[in-house]
């Protein structure tokens, strides 16, 4: 796998060249990003409303605000603490548990479809993932994350107490809530996957939807198990995507352009809206 990069000049050259981009197509991919985040907000609303009903507006504020606040934490783990701060201290443990359930559902969907994609991909192409191409910062982030978790576990956690708390929390989760959470996570997965496929079509790439999904689901799986932060996320996904799509003889610059646009639409722009909620944030009264 090659650790390719895309300069700003190359990105704009590709975007302004003979492609299928138009005002209508840009509007469509923007709407897909809005739908992606709408279902994430709706998922959070349903999760929280199991014990404390909240409006869609409030769920939007908490979801986008936490997204912005967690950007510079490894794998956005800060999202747990950021969402918990919107609630009184006596509810924060439950909020973190519900957030964990929502993130687990998204990871489950990513792992399920990614495993299928990687299975078919590896049976068709001789893939070789070279960990030596990872940026040194990703090893550092992973090491710091593991160290922090070990210190926290030894300092604060009493296994028998936390086991009972987790068991009690899970027993209170209904099957209908689990199904809704998985449904919203699956809808999000297919929305941003279709968005990537649409971008490939706009760049005049002749690749079937099934082949796109095979490579894309493999990329999301591989990227999800590697530690990264906001600024390196696009580099990590770009490197993996360029490697996987190279088996279909697709120009790496086009793949990097698609990854960059996906990153801007689904990570950067929501964080700009979220920054508004971060600036207006006030701790709730305990």
E strand segments, the chain: none
Angle at 49 between CA 47 and CA 51, to 5 degrees: 100
pLDDT on residue 275: 92
Give phi and psi for 4, each to the nearest 5: -75, 155
Q: Which two tokens stand for residue 47?
A: 């999760």
- What is the predicted pLDDT for the residue at 196? 95
Q: What is the pLDDT of residue 155?
A: 54
The pTM of this model reads 0.80
The tokens describing 268, both together, are 């950067």
pLDDT given for residue 162 in this prediction: 59
pLDDT score at 137: 47
Contacts of 96 by beta carbon, 8 Å cutoff, 6+ apart: 80, 81, 83, 84
Report the pLDDT value the prediction gives residue 93, as an integer from 0 to 100: 83
pLDDT at 3: 47
Instruction: Tell me what pLDDT residue 191 has.
Output: 96
Say what the pLDDT of residue 90 is: 84
The pLDDT value given to residue 26: 86
Q: Which two tokens stand for residue 283?
A: 């701790």
pLDDT along the chain (286 residues), means of 10: 54 58 85 96 93 91 92 79 88 86 91 91 74 49 55 54 65 84 95 94 90 93 76 81 92 91 93 90 74
pLDDT at 145: 55
Residue 10, Cβ neighbours under 10 Å: how many? 13
> Which pLDDT score, from 0 to 100, does residue 286 have?
61
Backbone angles phi, psi at 52, to 5 degrees: -150, 100
Q: Work out whether the CA dihedral 147, 70, 1, 10 comes out positive or negative.
A: negative
């Amino acid at each position: 796998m090659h650790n390719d990069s895309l300069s700003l000049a190359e990105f704009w050259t590709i975007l302004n060249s003979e492609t299928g981009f138009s005002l209508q197509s840009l509007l469509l991919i923007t709407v897909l990003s809005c739908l992606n985040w709408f279902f994430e907000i709706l998922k959070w609303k349903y999760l929280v409303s199991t014990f404390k009903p909240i409006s869609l507006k409030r769920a939007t504020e908490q979801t986008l605000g936490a997204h912005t606040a967690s950007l510079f934490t490894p794998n956005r783990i800060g999202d747990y603490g950021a969402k918990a701060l919107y609630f009184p201290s006596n509810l924060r443990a439950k909020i973190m548990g519900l957030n964990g359930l929502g993130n687990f559902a998204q990871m489950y969907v990513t792992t399920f479809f990614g495993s299928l994609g990687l299975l078919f991909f590896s049976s068709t192409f001789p893939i070789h993932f070279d960990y030596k191409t990872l940026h040194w910062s990703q090893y550092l982030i992973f090491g710091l994350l593991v160290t922090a978790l070990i210190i926290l576990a030894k300092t604060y956690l009493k296994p028998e107490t936390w086991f009972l708390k987790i068991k009690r929390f899970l027993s209170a989760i209904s099957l209908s809530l689990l199904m809704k959470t998985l449904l919203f996570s699956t809808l999000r997965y297919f929305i941003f996957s279709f968005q990537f496929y649409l971008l490939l079509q706009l760049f005049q790439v002749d690749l079937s939807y099934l082949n796109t999904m095979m490579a894309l689901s493999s990329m999301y799986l591989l990227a999800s198990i590697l530690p990264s932060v906001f600024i390196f996320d696009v580099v990590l996904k770009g490197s993996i995507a360029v490697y996987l799509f190279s088996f279909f003889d697709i120009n790496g610059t086009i793949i990097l352009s698609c990854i960059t646009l996906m990153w801007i639409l689904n990570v950067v722009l929501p964080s700009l809206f979220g920054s508004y909620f971060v600036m207006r944030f006030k701790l709730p009264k305990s």
